[in-house]
Structure 1
Amino acid sequence: MSKRIKVLLVAAMVGLAMLFAAACGGGGDVGDTPDGAEDGDGSPQYGGTLNVALSSDAPRLDPGLSSSVYDRYVFQSIFDKLADIDENGEVVPVLAKNWDVSDDGLTYTFHLQEGVKFHDGTDFNAEAVKFNFDRNTDPASPRRGELAAVKEVTVVDEYTVEVVLSEPFAPFLSILTDRAGMMVSPTAVEELGEDFANSPVGTGPFKFESLMKGNNITLVKNEDYWQDGLPYLDSIVFKIITDTNVTATNLKSGQVDISDWRFPTKEIANFENDDNFVIVNEASQNYNGFYLNISKPPFDNKHARQALDVLMDREALVDLVKDGAATVAHSYFSPGCFAHGDSDIPPEPSVEKAKEILAEGGLEDGFTFTYKTAATPEQQQIAEMLQSMFKEAGITMNIEQIEFGTLLDQTIKGEFEAAALGWSGRPDPDQNIFDDVFTDGSMNYSRFSHPEIDELVTAARKELDQDKRKALYDDAMEILVDELPYIFTYHENNVICHSKNVHGFTYISDGLIRTAEIWKD
């Protein structure tokens, strides 16, 4: 007997949008209001362009191959998912209108929305879902680790698909709220091949129109969107602005309507005191820091890694770089995660201790390494602070700033000694740790391998009892804070700013901007 989990799709709450006063314009005229609504009464209006500041380019607009959070910002508008998370962190249905789960937790039967089409006219149905699962479990896809438990996908009928897991997998539904659950057009993938990322096709509220590398990405309204009455906007323009101080200036001038989660923290108080803007400053799921390539010198020596860890004054980084809009980090789990524990408390900074560690590892004279990071003012400030901290123990850190897409590509290929890349975080702890530390995991850029870690993180994703899962993650972190394939700096808050003529924005803990219900005065 199976237990029925009925999850009903929540209708668009168009009448409950927050009432904001009109403020700075941001490009694009606003058109008619929906039937029965009057201008100025707080009801959603149709038309206009939403200008979004994106603090780095989106390198690969293909959910099956993407490894960047900046891609995910754009994906929210182009692709619908089988499920999503709501403002309470609960998994809710989207393209899957409901699902059944067998008592043994191995079989998921998804019942799909009917009458949905991809932007190219291809029908969304069970065959399309199977195509996406098959594509995302291919060895070439970064999604393969997320979906490693998927054993078989079967088309039951046109709008029903059955997914059988090889073993219980606690994060499965949560994983489908992100890239692994985004549905791409099978027709477009087969026709475009590797070029799909330059002309992505989904079922979402907006269609891809154009991309100017390093400048902007433009989307236009999907006139045939399956959710009645949505979207409200005519278009969205993602403006690539790597200097967040320029983002603040463009918000003031009206050239930008809303920022991504990297709004400059030094401007928070200024914008909070300006009635033309709304600031969202909330805890997130993320972690920041840098990968160490342990497959080659100097970081094949664990003592070199441990010395960096104990030299870092993370409180200073949080205070000076993030203006307090972050918490110090020493683990993959932010304070809101059930797996969070004492491992997230970093060691006290100590030059004396660092020198002892270096001596134990035969590195009495220190060592030299290159730290690769994105070419942004904030990342430069972080790098220079770290450089100064490490110098006190005779460690020379050379700084190389490069474009984010290049940094990501070089890190994936192992062409680095230290690479500053963070993780935007996911609701389930498995998605924040497994692929980073499991041998040959899709995001194991450090080239780390430890049999006991493999056993612990594998057991944690099979375990359905939350308390037992936490105990397994505690055991894993006890090893990882000693091995240190990754050095943590902080968990930063999501800080998003938008003008008060932007309505319908709902904050979700992943910090991404869902645009279907956003409208402008």
Structure 2
Amino acid sequence: MRTRTTGSRRTGRRLTAAFGVAAVLTTAACGGDSDSSGSGGSQSGDASLALAINAQPATLDPAQLAEGQQAYLWTSIYDTLLTLDNEGQLQPNAAESWEYSADGRTLTLKLRDGMTFSSGDPVTAEAVRATLERTRTTPGQQQGKLAAVESVEAPDDSTVVLNLSEPDSSLLVNLAQAAGVIGDPATIENEDSVLDPVGSGPYVLDDEATVPGSTYVLERRDDHWNVDAYPFETVTVRVIQDRTAVFNALQTGELNAGTVEAPQGEQLASQGFDIAKVDATAVGNLVLADRSGTVQPAFADPRVRQAINMAFDREKIVEQLLQGNGLATQQIFNPKGEAYVEELNDTYEYDPEGAKALLAEAGYANGFEITMPSTIISQNFEPTITQALADIGIRVTWEPVPPQNTASAVASGTYPAVFFIDGLNAAPRELANNFAPDGFLNPFDSELPAELTELMDQIATETDPTAAGDLLQQANEVIVENALTAPLFYAGTTWATTDGIEYLGDGSNTLNTVRAFGVSA
């Protein structure tokens, strides 16, 4: 038995990928390696991988892909233009090189030779152009990620040129995710391809063995250009919603890799399973959305927001509610990423008395009342949040929201604050998600400190990773010091694998792909 815990050390300027809502609800994530010589097996073999996801894919249409646990399927079927390795570093994939113009408004990618779709058709620049044009013009989860792309050209069979309306710091990461997949233009519009697509990836769906909605069986393509990077001849993805059922399936041998609760991980470790713990895959955040005081005027005062940050014993929350499977934090950014600043976690000490004094200074000695949505995400944390805020004089009423309305409630602009567990995204996207005018967690389009607005404008168009990382850290400092939100914890994930299977991710890359698994000796 081997137990491996990945730490929260700062790892420099690393770009990370995103979760879908399904992964937010289960806080499970994993990463992917990059080149054919990376971890996960240097040569192809006949091993098999069987793992579970919590929801079936609604579609495998390239323009409609979701970046949650469903990505185990589509990252196996499709190649992306670029990829992120297990350390979150951007790497070549279908595109073997890329280069920006001096003004950052033109991105030129060179495709590698010899790629084919599972149909046998060659992968050409025209196929990439057709897929990207379709994705950027089709309403769906991926359209906005190509918003800066004005047109796509294919001047020859191996060159793709993206013409941009303005530089986009998120574009390369997006091309390593669902927005960068390559579909076969000959079949991409076919109705049958929605759940049985033709891609150029390392696996194809086994139609006979697959039971849609229940079990998806992927068979490796031995003619794939990067076949040596995939040690598993067969990958079976089962839809299992209940964690206890996953735990049982691991014990019976139905699965050889799965995410479990921390106590279940300890039990499996005693039975000889390998256990790998990832400290941070999602952030639990008390979103202080109404920072302009539209619904609750008190929230416009930074002293009130600072007091709220002082109301929570974050370490205790991790210990008791997460059973130690996570980390306390005061930041919204991935601790493995380029925006993270370790010292910012010391900004607000747990100090209810000090918080009450700040509220009194702001004119709220008697506290105030707020209404928050009670969602499937918040329910387990509501007693703790209610008590912590009550201890400083803020009285919370929870308004029930049906599970299917969770996202709409969060984005409604009805509630001054919401508790949300958000899968860790690439830092520029995390920033926009929380503070851009159209950000999902910014329903009031609240006024921001001028310094943050200026930094966000610079970040949005900065294509140099080092410069962008410096700007993101500055933005992070402004966010924390002004208490623009109240992050409480990072939720972690515990992976259990059987002997011979190794989980390789550490949270740097949160895109779900079979490249996060390898064959161990």
Q: TM-score range by the shorter chain?
A: 0.7 to 0.9
Contact 1:372 1:416 in 2 (8 A): no
Q: Percent identity?
A: 21
Tell me the residue number matched to 2:31: none
Q: Deviations over 1:384-416 (max 9, x none)?
A: 32233233334224274754x653455456676
3-state SS in 2 of match to 1:44 = coil
SS in 2 for 1:98: strand
Contact 1:446 1:486 in 2 (8 A): no
- How far apart are residue 81 of structure 1 and its match? 0.8
Aligned to 2:200: 203
8 Å CA contact 2:39, 2:518 repeated in 1: no
Q: Is the 8 A contact 1:374 1:420 kept in 2?
A: no
Structure 1 CA distance for aligned equivalents of residues 145 and 82 of structure 2: 15
1:288 and 2:287 matched: no
- Structure 2 residue aligned with 1:319: 319
Distance 1:310 1:419, change over 3 A: same
Aligned residue type for 1:366:
F
Partner of 1:473: 472
Distance in 2 separating the partners of 1:501 and 1:369: 50
Distance across 2 between alignment mates of 1:59 and 1:454: 37
Unmatched 5+ stretches in structure 1: 1-8, 18-33, 35-42
CA contact (8 A) 1:288 1:491 kept: yes
Q: Name the stretch that deviates more: 172-181 or 461-470.
A: 461-470
- Residues 96 and 113 of structure 1 are in contact (CA less than 8 Å); yes or no, is this contact kept in structure 2? yes
**Aligned residue number for residue 18 of structure 2:** none
The match for 1:264 among 261, 265, 272 is: 261
- For 1:287-346, what per-residue CA distance to the aligned partner results, in whole angstroms no more than 9, with x for missing partners? 332445539634884357555433222111111233434222222323332322244445
Partner of 2:436: 438
Q: Residue 285 of structure 1 contacts residue 337 of structure 1 at CA under 8 Å; is this kept in 2?
A: no
Query: Does the Cα contact within 8 Å between 1:293 and 1:299 map onto a contact in 2?
Result: no
Q: For the aligned residues, what is the CA RMSD?
A: 4.1
Q: Give the stretch that moved more between structures: 278-287 or 405-414.
A: 405-414
The aligned amino acid for 1:386 is I
Tell me what 1:38 maps to. Answer: none
Partner of 2:36: 11
Q: Does the Cα contact within 8 Å between 1:284 and 1:510 map onto a contact in 2? A: no
Is contact 1:45-1:520 (8 Å) kept?
no
Counterpart CA distance in 2 for 1:250 and 1:401 is: 32
Instruction: Output aligned runs, 1:24-423, within 5 Å.
Output: 44-45=45-46, 50-55=49-54, 61=60, 64-66=63-65, 69-102=68-101, 105-114=104-113, 116-118=115-117, 124-138=123-137, 140-192=139-191, 201-207=198-204, 216-221=214-219, 223=221, 226-227=224-225, 228=227, 232-242=232-242, 244-260=243-259, 263-275=260-272, 277-284=273-280, 286-294=282-290, 297-298=295-296, 301-302=299-300, 307-341=307-341, 342-345=343-346, 347-356=348-357, 360=362, 364=366, 366-374=368-376, 380-392=379-391, 393-398=393-398, 400=400, 403=403, 406-408=405-407, 410-411=409-410, 418-423=417-422
Closer, same or farther: CA 344–365 of 1 in aligned 2, 3 Å: closer
Q: CA deviation at 1:138?
A: 4.0
CA distance in 2, matches of 1:300, 1:131: 51
Q: 1:12 to 1:131 in 2, by over 3 A?
A: same
Instruction: Give 3-state SS (helix, strand or coil) of 1:52's partner.
Output: strand
1:368, distance to aligned residue in structure 2 (A): 3.9
Q: Deviations over 1:76-121 (max 9, x none)?
A: 3232211112234332222113334445554432222445444567
Rounded to whole Å, the distance in 1 between the matches of 2:216 and 2:394 is 48
- Displacement of 1:435 in angstroms is 3.6
Q: Counterpart of 1:233 in 2: which secondary structure?
A: strand
Distance (whole Å) between structure 2 residues aligned to residue 224 and residue 324 of structure 1: 42
Q: 1:239 to 1:257 in 2, by over 3 A?
A: farther
| Greater shift in the superposed pair: 388-397 or 354-363 | 354-363
Deviation, 1:235, is 4.4
- What SS class does the counterpart of residue 331 from structure 1 fall into? coil
Work out which structure has the larger RCO, using CA pairs closer than 8 Å and 6 or more positions apart in sequence. Answer: 2
Q: Which amino acid aligns with 2:123?
A: F
In structure 1, what residue type is equivalent to 2:513? R
Q: What's the offset of the Cα at 1:58? A: 5.3
Given that 1:206 and 1:219 are in contact with CA atoms closer than 8 Å, whether structure 2 keeps it comes out as no
Q: CA deviation at 1:207?
A: 4.0
Q: Secondary structure at the match of 1:489?
A: strand
TM-score computed with the length of structure 1 as normaliser: 0.74
Higher alpha-carbon deviation: 63-72 or 492-501? 63-72
Scaled by the length of structure 2, the TM-score of the pair is: 0.74
Whole-angstrom distance in 2 between the partners of 1:198 and 1:409 = 27
Q: 1:367 Cα deviation (Å)?
A: 1.6
Secondary structure in 2 aligned to 1:382? helix
Q: How many residues align?
A: 472
Measured in 1, the distance between the counterparts of 2:193 and 2:307 equals 44
Amino acid at match of 1:206: Y
Q: Deviations over 1:444-481 (max 9, x none)?
A: 45343446334311202434566654553344334433
Q: Secondary structure at the match of 2:250?
A: helix
Where in structure 2 are the equivalents of 1:467-506 lying within 5 Å?
A: 468-481=467-480, 486-502=485-501, 506=504
Partners of 2:286 and 2:212 in 1: how far apart? 29
Partners of 2:62 and 2:442 in 1: how far apart?
Answer: 19
Give the partner amino acid of 1:324.
Answer: G
The 1:45–1:191 alpha-carbon spacing in structure 2 relative to 1, beyond 3 Å, is closer
Q: Distance in 2 between matches of 1:63 and 1:421?
A: 28
* SS of the residue 1:480 aligns to: helix
2:328 counterpart letter in structure 1: V
